[in-house]
Structure 1
Amino acid sequence: MGHTISTVRMDDALGWGIYTYIYLFHMPAMILLSGVFSRPETTPRAVRSTFQLLITWALWEGLWAVLRFVFEGDDLSSKFLVSPAWSLWFLVSLATMRILLPYFARLRHPLLCSVLLALAAGASPAIGSEFSASRTLCFMPFFVAGWLARDRGWLAGDWFMRPARRTRAIAWGLLGIVALGFVAVPQLREVWRLDSWLRWRDGYAYMLEDAPLGSLEPSTWWGILLTGAGVRLLLLGIAAAMILALLLVTPRRSGVATAWGARTLYIYLLHGPIIWALRESGAVERISALGGAEGSVLGIAVLLGIGAAITVVLSMRWVTKVFHPLVEPRFEPMFARP
């Protein structure tokens, strides 16, 4: 849903607000949940799982290269397999996080160290989109927190497993307050391009130049470092709070979405070409303009509906059967028998 409105988010305050709201927490949440199901081990099973991610990533990098060559005439970029194509950065980051987790697990304070590393990453302009290095370091605290939450039983109490009505009300209130912030301050996008900071891939110096905080323009290296690290720490804290609130309001009983949750990798990979086709054909722009200048609400609503529909369709069982070779290719012959 975020990708359906990403190219038209600057057309009006509504689209920008919804996009920024989603990006405040959605990838941190996915990465925290990935950490919950990860182990700091180098067993054959763990190695195969990580290798599966890398094989899938390399396959889809090739598919995107072919797609762009056929329809756009783009030759193979010099950054092929260096800067992941569009949403494929997640696979690279997830594989890297799994490789790093055993080392973080050896530390006395792994979560604190991961946060400090995330803050320090923005100080170097050399840490960017290559091999998704910046996002890996920035999102590592959520991955480590997910592992710690399960390993140390942080979420095993009744307050989380069976949250009371008051607890759920507080969680809903937090999510609502953040949303109301965008409604109450529509000028925020003109004062501060918060959505640019939520890409998590550039250094502080570049971000404070490209998306400055109003009139605040630090010029010294320490001013840039402190300001950038302060903003990043704030965004990490907001994301953590929103993730906890989201998990608290999530129903505990099984439902239709429970089965869909096992197929999220199919949605994540397969929605990309669909959204790309909608963008390249001009459909996204035409839909966003439904109703003329006053119809941005209708256009955004339709685009979000399309995003939701794509999610539902790609969650169906037949999709996993048809596209299994592309999403989870078999590579067992590459490994020695146990």
Structure 2
Amino acid sequence: MSAPVAPAAVPGQTKRVPLWDNARFIAITLVVIGHAILKLIAESDTAYGVYLFVYAFHVPVFVAVAGYFAKANPPGVKQLKRIVTDLVLPYLIFETIWSVIHSLRAGSPSIDLVTPSWTLWFLLALIVWRVVLPYLALLRFPFLISVVVSVAAGYLPGVGGAFALDRTLALLPFFVLGWKIRQLPVTAIWIRASQRRILIVRAGAVAVFAALAVVIAVNVPLWRDLKIRRVFLFEQAYPEFGYDQWWAGALRLGAIALAVVLILAFLTLMPRRSTWFSPLGQATMYVYLLHSFVLYPIRESGVLSGPQNDLLLVGMIAFSILIAVALSTKVVQRVFRPLVAPRAKWLFAPSARGA
């Protein structure tokens, strides 16, 4: 996302690389789509299939892109300040807003800063991932260790949703994966690759996504029964959604393996050159934090509940794309910058203000 990560440039360069901005915008648009169609999946197998397709990879992609721009060296004053201004303060601001909304709806005041509302878990997760990464980078097999942590966390019911700890641990491998990808010159090689090689690799990526779509479409009732949706959410302990067997961790391990393949396929399909939506990829934090306020009244109104036809699904997908575009505009950034990206110079000690 634009606010919590460094500029989208190849290591050693300061120029933005369009590929990453393109990936950011497509990923955040998929996030909006996933949230927009959630209420449709109970009554529509088509909506459920689209939902599974999106959730198989879109959050892991988002996390991996954030990891790509993370730094594994010990944080300095500037990095620590950005954790506060880009993550801690927006979390406190928006969680307070959501607490007020929930209080008004319930008719009684309630401020809860421990259990993140809707999308705000990602801010807390980013804080932990950034702090933990320098320590993981000291180890010999950081990605393997993160996978073990993710799978093991699902066996521990005590790792609950407080401060989004369940998702933070479950999705850690994708953050580490993004960081590991940056250690290799893959971006530079991909950008310089011949058109023929690009077409071959992209054809393979399309085949991967096509196979995923087919597998999901022909077995929707089975995926419902197996509660695969809950597996793709990367939250909660396995027994909490019906899997108390010793082998339950294999479900998360399989989801991680699938997501890694889909992340690589997704990135190979991203345009390497600037597109009309490349500039929009620099404002994904605004889309991420604000789109839920657009969708909340619609979801709570009940219009998406009950039997629906596929036209509504198509309409919500189109509406989601419009939301992502609209919330990426400069006007929205200017209006909501104090909430999304507060500078808060007054908060820091004089010795830290110049950093």
Query: TM-score, normalized by length of structure 1?
Result: 0.88
The answer to whether structure 1 residue 2 and structure 2 residue 30 are counterparts is: no
Q: Percent identity at matched positions?
A: 30
Name the structure 2 match of 1:66.
100
Give the 3-state SS of the residue equivalent to 1:242 in structure 2: helix
Instruction: Render the CA deviation track for 1:194-227: whole Å, top value 9, x for unaligned.
Output: 11222222112223x2xx5xxxxx6xxxxx23x2
Counterparts of 1:90-239 in structure 2, within 5 Å, are 90-158=122-190, 163-207=197-241, 209=242, 224-225=245-246, 227-239=247-259
User: Aligned AA for 1:132?
Assistant: A
1:283 aligns with 2:317: no
CA contact (8 A) 2:56 2:258 kept: yes
Distance in 1, Cα, partners of 2:150 & 2:160? 12
Separation (CA, whole Å) in 2 of partners of 1:105 and 1:190: 38
List gaps (5 residues or longer) in structure 1: 213-217, 219-223, 290-295
What letter corresponds to residue 109 of structure 2 in structure 1? Answer: D
Q: Is the 8 Å Cα contact of residues 70 and 130 (structure 2) preserved in structure 1?
A: yes
Aligned-pair distance for 1:313?
0.9
> What letter matches 2:96 in structure 1?
G
Which one-letter code corresponds to 2:271 in the other structure?
P
CA contact (8 A) 1:32 1:143 kept: yes
Instruction: State the TM-score, normalizing by the size of structure 2.
Output: 0.84
Q: Which residue of 2 aligns with 1:309?
A: 322
How far 1:155 sits from its partner (Å)?
A: 4.3
C-alpha deviation, 1:156, in angstroms: 4.0
Identify the structure with bigger relative contact order (alpha carbons < 8 Å, sequence gap 6+): 2
Preserved CA contact (<8 Å) 1:160 1:248: no
1:134-186 CA-to-partner distances (Å, cap 9, x unmatched) read 11111111111111111243544348866521111000110111011122223
- Structure 2 Cα separation of the partners of residues 50 and 241 of structure 1: 30
Given the alignment of the two structures, is residue 251 of structure 1 paired with residue 271 of structure 2, yes or no? yes
Uncovered stretches (5+) of structure 2, i.e. residues with no partner: 1-32
The Cα of 1:280 is off from its aligned counterpart by 1.9
CA distance, structure 1, for counterparts of residue 139 and residue 333 of structure 2: 39
CA distance in 2, matches of 1:233, 1:260: 33
In structure 2, the residue matched to 1:221 is none
Cα distance in 1 for residues equivalent to 2:327 and 2:36: 15
Alpha-carbon distance between aligned partners in 1 of 2:158 and 2:146, rounded to the nearest angstrom: 19
1:47 to 2:80 alignment:
yes
1:332 match? 345
1:265, distance to aligned residue in structure 2 (A): 0.5
CA shift at 1:279, angstroms? 1.4
Q: Distance in 2 between matches of 1:5 and 1:119?
A: 28
Partner residue of 2:58?
26
Compute the displacement of 1:2 (Å). 0.9
